[in-house]
């Protein structure tokens, strides 16, 4: 049953990632991968919120939303590819910015989700 919940969450998360990525990137005339950056921050926030509310979240919900939805919504492989693409096109500054902003932003978003959920469930 848990595997099916993960599959269901991923079936929603993957197309959502694609649609959000394309929508955000279309609004920016920049080589910086704003779409991937945005979906990774959203997914980090959501996962942080799930962790923060873990005592109130049943295991199957965590499998559905944490592993399935957030796992398919966020994308380390695309982040890596886009960073390498920036490096090979000599946009080194944007590549470094992508790494630093993605790591700091992802951790910050996860922490904000954790704090938000903790405040709601406390």
DSSP code per residue over 41-61: HHHHHHHHHHHHTGGGS-HHH
Instruction: Give the residue extent of every domain in the chain.
Output: 2-121
CB count in 10 Å sphere of residue 65: 22
The answer to which of 24-28, 50-54, 62-66, 90-94 has the lowest mean pLDDT is 50-54
**Which band of pLDDT confidence, cut at 50, 70 and 90, is reported for residue 121?**
confident
Which amino acids are annotated as binding site, given as ranges? 71, 74
Dump pLDDT digits (tens) for 85-118. Answer: 999 999 999 999 999 999 999 999 999 999 999 9
Residue 47 · residue 70 · CB < 8 Å: yes
Of 35, 38, 39, nearest in space to 22 by CA:
35
**Which band of pLDDT confidence, cut at 50, 70 and 90, is reported for residue 55?**
confident
What's the DSSP call for residue 28? -
Distance, in Å, from the CA atom of 77 to the CA atom of 1, rounded to the nearest integer, reads 28
Distance, in Å, from the CA atom of 36 to the CA atom of 62, rounded to the nearest integer, reads 23
Residue corresponding to tokens 């992802």:
106
Distance, in Å, from the CA atom of 26 to the CA atom of 80, rounded to the nearest integer, reads 20
Distance, in Å, from the CA atom of 91 to the CA atom of 118, rounded to the nearest integer, reads 40
Which amino acids are annotated as binding site for Na(+), given as ranges? 71, 74
pLDDT value at residue 54? 79
Q: What is the mean pLDDT of residues 35-61?
A: 92
């Amino acid at each position: 049953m848990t595997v099916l919940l993960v599959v269901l969450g991923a079936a929603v998360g993957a197309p959502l990632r694609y649609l959000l990525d394309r929508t955000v990137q279309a609004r920016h005339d920049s080589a910086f991968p704003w779409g991937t950056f945005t979906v990774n921050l959203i997914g980090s926030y959501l996962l942080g919120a799930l962790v923060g509310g873990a005592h109130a979240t049943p295991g199957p919900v965590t499998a559905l939303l944490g592993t399935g939805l957030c796992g398919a919504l966020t994308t380390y492989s695309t982040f890596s590819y886009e960073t390498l693409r920036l490096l090979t096109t000599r946009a080194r500054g944007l590549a470094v910015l992508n790494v630093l902003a993605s790591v700091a932003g992802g951790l910050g978003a996860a922490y904000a989700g954790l704090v938000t959920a903790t405040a709601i469930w406390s």
